[in-house]
């Protein structure tokens, strides 16, 4: 486990960053906001054994490194920034250690509280997307197996309150502001604590956050994401942004501009590829090459999100209309107008 880091806000509040091994090769940052006797935990890792071990070690390290004793039982609330399992999967484990109420945005509430139902519905939509994308049967079956593999890690956990923008601040602590940022995830929220901004997966220091089509999950999609980027760019008085992964970001605006530019370049590349009719699978291969394992699925979703954005705005059209009319869930060919 990497070293716990403390950040101090302009008003003197302490924010501890606890890095957890969420999945092999993926480190997730969870945060403890210390302001009085009831600290807040922001996110809780994946729920895998290594992640849970790192979470407990992080609480211990706060005391060893900074002399402030905080235990899970001391928590006043657990705030979940969005409904991706590397950020909420540890809830069932934490429930053995604390009765702190859990809060999440309403658009991700069902993911936490009715997880098994959500997996069934989401997997069906994903399978339909892959079929329309032109992914051949064997590859599609393998991708679905990978998608569902980690879904057994978590079990449904009740949620106690909603992280509604502008409505929950007084419930928790002075100095906190919440921003709803749909796109990467329907219920993604960023949390501002005085002059520090916890961006979760909305803005990251190096990675351009993953996008998936809204046809799979409502309130995702590149259009929502770009609008949310513009919104968080206006957050007042931010001196430092802290992501759900990777390093702190002292220049939030510069990082947002770089992410926006990366998406615009990808959109231009998709338009160039679609001078001739293309499937989503063909576009994904051209954009990302012959990647392996879960990266195949991530590439297909990313390509699908960009194609969906251009299609919704009339820059792409379906080139095989007769086939779409005659077949159930046909492969769709997209072409530049």
If you average pLDDT over residues 203-222, what whole number do you get?
97
Beta-bridged to residue 102, according to DSSP, are: 78
pLDDT-derived band at 173 (thresholds 50, 70, 90) equals low
User: Model's pTM, two decimal places?
Assistant: 0.95
Other beta carbons within 10 angstroms of residue 240's beta carbon come to 15
Mapping DSSP to helix (H, G, I), strand (E, B) and coil, where does residue 308 land? helix
Of residues 175 and 33, more confidently modeled = 33
Query: CA 196, CA 191: separation in Å to the nearest integer?
Result: 8
Do the beta carbons of residue 301 and residue 103 sit within 8 Å?
Answer: no
Report the SS3 class of residue 26: strand
Mean pLDDT of the 137-163 span: 90
For the stretch 298-322, pLDDT in tens is: 999 999 999 999 999 999 999 999 9
Residue with tokens 């920034």: 81
Look at strands 26-34 and 14-23 and give their pairing. Answer: antiparallel
pLDDT digits (tens, 9 = 90+) for 234-255: 999 999 999 999 999 999 999 9
pLDDT at 1 over 90: no
Q: Does residue 229 surpass a pLDDT of 70?
A: yes
**Whole-number percent of the chain with pLDDT over 70:** 98
Please state the rounded mean pLDDT for residues 187-210.
Answer: 97
Structure tokens, 178: 């919440």
Phi, psi (deg, nearest 5) at residue 334:
-105, 140
User: What's the pLDDT score for residue 164?
Assistant: 87
- The Cα–Cα gap between 199 and 64 comes to 27
d(CA 76, CA 101) in angstroms, rounded, equals 7
pLDDT reading at 169 higher than 70: no
Cβ–Cβ < 8 Å for 297, 152: no
Which long-range contacts link 9-17 to residues 24+ away (Cβ below 8 Å)? Answer: 9/175, 9/193, 9/194, 9/195, 9/196, 10/194, 10/195, 10/239, 11/175, 11/194, 13/175, 13/193, 13/194, 14/66, 14/68, 15/193, 15/196, 15/198, 15/242, 16/58, 16/62, 16/66, 16/70, 17/242
| Residue 2 pLDDT level (bands cut at 50, 70, 90) | confident
**Shortest CA distance to 162 belongs to which of 173, 178, 181, 176?**
178
Report which of residues 36 and 226 the model is more confident about.
Answer: 226
Residue 151 confidence (pLDDT): 72
Q: What is the mean pLDDT of the chain?
A: 95
Confidence of residue 12 (pLDDT cuts 50, 70, 90): very high
Q: How many Å apart are CA 135 and CA 126, to the nearest integer? A: 12
Q: Tell me the per-residue pLDDT of 80-101, one tens digit each, with 9 for 90 and over.
A: 999 999 999 999 999 999 999 9
Nearest-CA neighbor of 260 among 230, 299, 302?
A: 230
Q: How many CB atoms lie within 10 A of CB 24?
A: 7
């Amino acid at each position: 486990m990497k070293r716990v880091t403390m950040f101090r806000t302009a008003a003197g509040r302490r924010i501890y960053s606890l890095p957890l091994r969420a999945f092999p090769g993926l480190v997730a940052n969870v945060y403890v906001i210390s302001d009085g006797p009831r600290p807040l935990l922001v996110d809780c890792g994946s729920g895998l054994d290594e992640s849970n071990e790192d979470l407990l070690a992080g609480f211990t390290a706060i005391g060893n490194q900074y002399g402030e004793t905080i235990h899970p039982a001391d928590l006043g609330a657990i705030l979940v920034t969005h409904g991706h399992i590397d950020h909420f999967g540890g809830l069932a484990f934490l429930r053995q250690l604390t009765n702190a109420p859990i809060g999440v945005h309403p658009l991700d509430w069902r993911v936490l509280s009715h997880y098994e139902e959500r997996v069934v519905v989401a997997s069906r939509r994903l399978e339909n997307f892959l079929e329309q994308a032109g992914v051949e049967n064997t590859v599609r079956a393998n991708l679905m197996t990978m998608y569902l593999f980690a879904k057994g890690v978590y079990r449904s956990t009740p949620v106690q309150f909603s992280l509604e923008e502008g409505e929950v601040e007084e419930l928790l602590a002075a100095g906190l502001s919440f921003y709803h940022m749909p796109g990467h995830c329907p219920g993604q929220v960023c949390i501002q604590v005085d002059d520090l901004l916890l961006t979760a997966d909305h803005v990251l220091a190096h990675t351009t956050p993953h996008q998936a089509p809204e046809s799979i999950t409502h309130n995702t999609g590149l259009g929502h994401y770009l609008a949310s980027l513009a919104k968080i760019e206006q957050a007042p008085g931010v001196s430092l942004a802290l992501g759900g992964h990777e390093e702190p970001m002292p220049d939030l605006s510069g990082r947002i501009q770089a992410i926006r530019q990366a998406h615009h370049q990808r959109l231009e590349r998709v338009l160039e590829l679609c001078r001739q009719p293309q499937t989503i699978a063909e576009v994904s291969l051209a954009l990302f090459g012959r990647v392996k394992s879960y990266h195949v699925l991530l590439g297909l979703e990313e390509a699908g999100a960009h194609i969906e954005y251009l299609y919704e705005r009339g820059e792409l059209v379906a080139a095989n209309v007769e086939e779409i009319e005659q077949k159930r869930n046909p492969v769709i060919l997209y072409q530049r107008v």
